Amino acid sequence: MTENASDAIEAGFGRSSEFGAGQRVRKLWKSRAVRGLLGYVPSLFGIVVLCLVIVGALLGPRVIHWDPNTVNLGQAYQSPKLSWNPSGSHWLGTDGLGRDEFLRVLLGARVSLLVGFVGATAAAVLGSLIGAVAALSGKVVGAVLMRIADLQLAFPFLIFAITMTSVLGSGLTTLLILVSVWSWGPYARVAEAMTKSTSQRDFVLAARSVGAGSGRVLFRHILPQLMSPMLILWSFSFAILIILEASLSFLGMGIRPPTASWGTMLADGRLNMTIAWWLALFPGLAISLTVWSINSIGDRLRDVLDPRIQL
């Protein structure tokens, strides 16, 4: 804390001294998080699994030469068969239209990771800004902003998304927009509480007293303090958004076929459960494994960076 405070006070006076101290703090923070993540078995496993999912999503469809969307009824409902040549047999079987399930699971990962990443990032940026502004601005503006954050709790994302897609239509772009506008509530709540306490701390008062404007105080002194709680929240909402996208697609209101999404694939598998168990099992396993890996990273990040945060 003392390091942080002196860093910030110096920051108010001159750039050169700020640089050295700031770098030191950042380095410390970085190494603590990284060491904490890699030196603990569950989070290390999580990182390995998540990396495999990302690599599989990016490279898999280039390596396997099945066409993900071509209908081939002669190949329909083939059960899973392992062989060393990925294009020689269908590792996870085929669906009712003869499409390779493994390839579609990998393609589904692209959608899930994209929605999770974009949604969580947009929510983190929006939420920390809105929360900080709500804490620093007047009573009325602050109250209204925080009530909009509460509204997201009273009208949860899935229900909001079902309402909106019934009017706007479904699809990836709509989904990305909806995710960004309706998941910043938790971030704003944490950011507001932390900004309120931070803005009374000595280093912020010092920066103010040497004439720093409200924009400078916000961006240079308050928002950097929010980094670790926002990072922890980010990792958890990444996982939650993957589940929500899959739920929405499962209900037929998210990603539209023929684009592969774990939710739509699972919905399809559910209908054909009696003849092809693998169609329900593998997309579900893919979601669970990905969500587990992100959660285990998030848990560890919280333990290492800020155990006080309650979610």
Query: In this structure, which amino acid lies at residue 168?
Result: L
- DSSP class of residue 254 equals S
Nearest to other proteins of 3, 150 (CB atom) = 150
Residue 310 CB, shortest distance to other proteins, in Å, is: 7
Long-range contacts of 247-250 (CB under 8 A, 24+ apart): 247/158, 248/158, 248/161, 248/162, 248/165, 248/175
Nearest to other proteins of 151, 193 (CB atom) = 151
Confirm if 29 and 301 have CB atoms less than 8 A apart.
no
What three-state secondary structure class fits 100?
A: strand
Residue 116 CB, shortest distance to other proteins, in Å, is: 13
- DSSP class of residue 94 equals B
Nearest to other proteins of 22, 93 (CB atom) = 93
Q: Which residues bind other proteins (CB under 8 A)?
A: 42, 143-144, 147-148, 150-151, 153-159, 162-168, 239, 243, 246-247, 250-251, 253, 263, 266, 269-270, 273-274, 277, 280-281, 284, 287-289, 291-292, 295-296, 299, 310
Residue 246 CB, shortest distance to other proteins, in Å, is: 6
Query: Using CA atoms, how far apart are residues 227 and 239, in angstroms rounded to an integer?
Result: 19
Residue 61 CB, shortest distance to other proteins, in Å, is: 23
CB atoms near residue 24 (< 10 Å): 12
Nearest to other proteins of 39, 156 (CB atom) = 156
Nearest to other proteins of 169, 258 (CB atom) = 169
**Nearest residue to 260 (alpha-carbon basis) of 118, 119, 56, 48:** 56
Residue 114 CB, shortest distance to other proteins, in Å, is: 18
